Structure 1
Amino acid sequence: MAPRTKPSASSSTKATPSPKRDKMNPTVSASTSGSTIASSSTLSSSLNTAVAPDTRPSNRGANAISLPILIKPRAMVGTPISGSTTPASSAYPSAYPSDAEDIVATSRKSSRQSPFPFLSLPSELRTKIYDLIFLPVPSVLDLDPTTFSIIHRTKVLSLLFVSRQIYHEASHRFFSTHTVRIFPIHPGRYFKTKKPLLARLPSHYRSSISTLELRLGPGWNNPPRGWIVSPILGLENCINVKVLKIFVECDPSDAIFQGFRAGDGFYEGFCKDLLEGILHEVKGIEKVEFDAWSSVKRSGDMMVGLREVVDGHKKVVGWGPERGWAVSGATDPGDRIWLDAVLVHGMGRARAYM
């Protein structure tokens, strides 16, 4: 019996011949190319598989070890996407804006770019809007740090920088609806300043003022040197002032000030000179409105002296709301006697009945 021969590794392992393209038989080439396309699509669909076994024939022998081949997935190349298109939908939410969001964003941009035609409104409506803007500002303007803080914090005067027309309208409305105090009363460096607020304003602002206020009482024993009617105040530019408000905080002629005042009738005469100078400089004043704290009597030397000056210039006398003199029956017996004396004997002899 003949011994068996061991087959060699080279004879047992044969390479599979690759199919040749037959020009006469196109079916073979077509099937081959189809299988190639199918294998490439299968490979691209399995990019998430990190390791794949080697199924290619090997010529290294029967004992050769088949090693895995690492397949590195190709990097996805991003394509530029325009703002008007949206990528295809998937299971994950898209981070790109939809067509509806693009329309909303476009409409918002167009609404921002078109300003509101404020100047096309009637002048009455614009005036009402100006009044609403100036509401945070106190009704009386003075050299007061609180007023400066409010104006700086609210930025209400930034409206004056919009346009020339709004500047003229808003500035005139601001100064015509606010009372300007002639001499400052806030304690500190402004109280003794030689340039009150009225002197610091430009002439075209002073021409828009319609109401002035004179506050009497602070510094009654030693009035500041800056409290004097002089050309530096610019009262000649206050051509539209119609009302002068006088508020009396105290009357030094009262007995409670005995021993503290500079002299009998000193402060009363000082206040009369101030009022005389103001009425002489501002010719357009038609009404003088008096008001005071509850401690001030209308029959006192202060009020009697001020009334004499007003009557001398033939101005209309009014009464403010604080003291309540305008309310009927709110006068004390001394005021009633003084009023009867004025009606019967005139202002000059009224002092004899006090």
Structure 2
Amino acid sequence: MWRLFVNRRHVASENAVICYWGSWSTYRWSIALFEVSNIDGSLCTHVVYTYAGLQNGVVTSLDPYNDLEESYGKGNYKKFTSYAESNGFKPLLGIGGWNEGSAKYSEMASYAAGREDFADSVVAFLQEYGFDGISLDWMYPTQNGGAQEDKDNYILLLQTLQEKFSDYGYTLAVAVGASPVLTKSYDVANIGEYVDYITLLSYDYHTYTDMKTDVASPLYSNDSYSVDFTVEQWTNLGAPAEKLIMGVASYGRTDHLSNSNNNGLGASVSGAGTAGQFTQEPGLLSYLEYCSSSNWEVVHSDDPLYTYAYKGNQWISYDDEAVLEAKAQYVLDKGLAGIMMYSLESDDFGGNCDTAYPLLTAINKGLGRISK
């Protein structure tokens, strides 16, 4: 069913706080179970429902039981957009993600009819379910199964989407890589012409695959793997600072120490840290999983800025409240559009360790959206 909307094109009047929500967290249990009603709309200007995907070149639900009402499904698409309307944030649909790969998007964007069909399907999808726009999370053009032509076709796809969206006032955001070799994938200077937000996936610079401990998402570093380097690279290549969103993670990257007595930065690593109870991914712990476990020895530094912790042979690098407030101040200093947090369900959203949403609250304090 199609719905009509008044024009509500995004006009930046405050720093954005874009919150990603992994809709699969509705299948979790105990303190990690996250439903639509767990979203705190006062802490997010936009919330991205992840993920929809591609089938035969058009947008589709990747989890019909969770997303749709048909066949006795949960109907979370409409629950989400209805909740957004009464809780003061813009509901966006995330399309893509790492598991979707790049090949399908490369094929769809490779010819004009494919781009048109996709854009038309997106508009129909947004109208049917009541979303206010999308975050296009194609990971990544020219990589992960993509083609060399993706760099040009990506711009053509954004142009097509922008033209289709203009009649409805839909928000068009894109999530983009933070690698120093981003010029292989993106015509940076032209992206800003067609989108409202460019969300930098400026985290996970270091993981256990480095085989030594390091700060996962440093604000500054002596090499090209830092938030500051990414921001400077994008702006130097022509991206408008006022459309750039700094991405931060509400989870930590974990390592298995080779020697539990050697637990500082640069310590030898034998593999990924132990998987968390709820996220169940080696090398990663949500902040909720981390804070609700005990006996971590925490190391925090203000200069340079980082936090890590260790317990036996387990080691984690994460952004705590102080780091996130400092990153928010960086956003203000650089005149960026705001911050994206990935993701809501990884924060301590229920206040199991202390107050609810400590990381997201720190971001809002740092941006001046709420008082310190």
* Shorter-chain TM-score above 0.5: no
* Larger-gyration structure (1/2): 1
Q: Choose between structure 1 and 2: higher helix proportion.
A: 1
Q: TM-score range by the shorter chain?
A: 0.3 to 0.5
TM-score normalised per structure 2: 0.35
